[in-house]
DNA sequence: GTCTATACTCCGATAGAC
DNA sequence: GTCTATCGGAGTATAGAC
């Protein structure tokens, strides 16, 4: 934890601790102790605790949306003006997020999905700025797949999809459902979850 | 705000302020000022800020799950041993929550859906204790509707449904999507949202 | 039993020396 | 760039008044 610069050491420690205990329950004093830097360094590099969070989130979701746009461009180019297959469109939206977030050592999913439901000054605007173009593209493309659906129906279903995805990212099954014969190994696998999610949403958009 | 007892005045003020600014951003000093009670009254009646939140949540979700169980009992009695229709089963699960939460002046939905994604000591156990019997009943009943699905598939799809419902409860569309011709009045209506959610999930379980 | 006054510890933020 | 010192405000605990 000492070979890197101060800023990076703070980011690494914060990512871990936020995921473990949640954002409000993690103090800057803990973070700077783990990172072996001075307390005031956080304010110097990030302005505030919220600023630190914002940088963490930005560094995480920006590449995901870039990848979504890239895949969408490629798919639409290949389709040559024809509507996409809805299942492919949904996979383009979900797979980069699930893959990327679950490859980072399972720290960011918890942080991110919690954030979607807790307001933070300036953070929602940032998320919207990054996500809005993707959502617009998604709704437009899905309207071509399912022309019998109104834009309102497609937008609200897009939000159902986001809600389901967020819930998938951070929930653990350990807590619930005794006596149903659930195989924990099966239901914990991310491949299983992703494919189930894609199937659920694909059918949901059509239903 | 002065005719009721101290405890109730605290609960009312907290419900409003938590919904408005979020749980971490609301101080006990604000709450007690709004409720016109002494700061220490919170600790006397609820033990801690988390205890206050817990009571608020419990008082809200317990009647919802009682209603779910009641509707499920009635539907299964009426079906006389035959499997339920999946759409009816899903409505039994979703409608009490959406109706009840949206009838309370739109304060609890925000609080509740945020809570699902932020860990609080003791609160997750309480939620699990209340929700577990309902989920077990739901998975069992859905397995009778859709016998070709494994319990793992049904459980994970149940969680997708919960995620979509939570997202529906607190999201506002104002932020997003310019240029898609979205009718805000349509997409903001809870009847519209509920029926869309039920259709989305019914198809999703089958797909 | 209820409620209050007060004090304690810890938090995030900042000013200013180095 | 980094550190020390310090500030106001947060949640909490308790002794004691009614």
- The whole-angstrom separation of Cα A160 and Cα A119 is 19
Q: Which residues of B touch A197 (CB under 8 A)?
A: 160
Q: Let me know whether A193 and A122 are in one domain.
A: yes
- What value does the mean pLDDT take over residues A159-175? 80
What residue in B sits closest to A126 (Cα-Cα)?
B175
**Protein residue at shortest CA distance from C1' of D13:** B43
Q: Let me know whether B110 and B12 are in one domain.
A: no
Q: Let me know whether B6 and B97 are in one domain.
A: no
**pLDDT value, residue A1:** 46
pLDDT tens figures, A122-140: 777 788 888 888 989 999 9
Q: Let me know whether B2 and B87 are in one domain.
A: no
B3 pLDDT tier (thresholds 50, 70, 90): low
Domain end point (choices B27, B47, B67): B47
Q: Let me know whether B76 and B63 are in one domain.
A: yes
Which positions of chain C lie under 7 Å from any protein Cβ? 2-7, 10-16
pLDDT tens figures, B132-150: 889 899 999 999 999 999 9
Q: Count CB atoms within 10 A of the CB of residue A1.
A: 11
Q: Let me know whether B13 and B23 are in one domain.
A: yes
Point out the residue among A153, A177, A205 whose CB comes nearest to the CB of B135. Answer: A177
- What value does the mean pLDDT take over residues A92-99? 94
Q: Let me know whether A114 and A138 are in one domain.
A: yes
Q: Let me know whether B31 and B101 are in one domain.
A: no
**pLDDT value, residue A182:** 84
- State the average pLDDT for chain B: 89
Q: Is A175 on the interface with B (CB under 8 A)?
A: yes
User: In this structure, is the CB of residue A26 within 7 Å of any atom belonging to strand C?
Assistant: yes
- The whole-angstrom separation of Cα A132 and Cα A128 is 5
What residue in A sits closest to B175 (Cα-Cα)?
A128
What residue in B sits closest to A125 (Cα-Cα)?
B175
CATH number of A125's domain: 1.10.357.10
CATH number of A43's domain: 1.10.10.60
pLDDT tens figures, B5-32: 999 999 999 999 998 888 888 999 999 9
Across the interface, whether the CB atoms of B136 and A204 are under 8 A apart is answered no
Tokens read off for B80: 């006389």
Indicate whether this model's pTM tops 0.85. Answer: yes
SS3 state of residue B31: helix
pLDDT tens figures, A15-39: 999 988 888 889 999 999 999 999 9
Q: Let me know whether B91 and B27 are in one domain.
A: no
**pLDDT value, residue B167:** 83
- The whole-angstrom separation of Cα B46 and Cα B26 is 16
- The whole-angstrom separation of Cα B94 and Cα B89 is 9
With a cut of 60, say whether residue B2 has pLDDT above it.
no
* Highest mean pLDDT (candidates A102-106, B107-111, B184-188, B193-197): B193-197
Q: Is A29 on the interface with B (CB under 8 A)?
A: no
Write the CA distances from A81 to A1, A17, A76, A87, B186, integer angstroms. 51, 47, 7, 17, 30
Tokens read off for A123: 């953070």
Q: How far, in whole angstroms, is CA A73 from its chain's centroid?
A: 21
Point out the residue among B115, B200, B207 whose CB comes nearest to the CB of A160. Answer: B200
Which residues constitute the domain of residue A28?
Answer: 1-47
SS3 state of residue B119: coil
Q: Let me know whether A36 and A73 are in one domain.
A: no
Q: Let me know whether B103 and B53 are in one domain.
A: yes
Q: Let me know whether B110 and B33 are in one domain.
A: no
How many domains does one find in chain B? 2
With a cut of 50, say whether residue B206 has pLDDT above it.
yes
Which positions of chain D lie under 7 Å from any protein Cβ? 1-5, 9-15
């Amino acid at each position: 934890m000492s070979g890197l610069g101060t800023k990076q050491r703070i980011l690494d420690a914060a990512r871990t601790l936020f995921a473990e205990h949640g954002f409000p329950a993690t103090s800057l004093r803990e973070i700077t102790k783990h990172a072996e830097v001075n307390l005031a360094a956080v304010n110097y590099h990030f302005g505030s605790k919220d600023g630190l969070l914002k940088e963490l989130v930005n560094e995480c979701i920006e590449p995901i949306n870039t990848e979504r746009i890239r895949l969408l461009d490629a798919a639409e180019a290949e389709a040559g003006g024809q509507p996409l297959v809805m299942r492919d469109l949904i996979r383009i939206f979900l797979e980069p997020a699930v893959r990327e977030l679950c490859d980072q050592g399972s720290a960011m999913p918890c942080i991110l999905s919690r954030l979607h439901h807790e307001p933070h000054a300036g953070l929602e605007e940032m998320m919207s700025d990054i996500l809005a173009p993707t959502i617009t593209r998604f709704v437009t493309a899905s309207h071509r797949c399912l022309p019998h659906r109104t834009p309102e129906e497609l937008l609200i279903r897009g939000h159902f999809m986001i809600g389901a995805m967020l819930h998938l990212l951070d929930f653990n099954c350990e807590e619930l459902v005794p006596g149903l014969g659930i195989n924990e190994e099966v239901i914990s696998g991310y491949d299983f979850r992703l494919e189930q999610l894609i199937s659920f949403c694909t059918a949901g958009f059509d239903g």
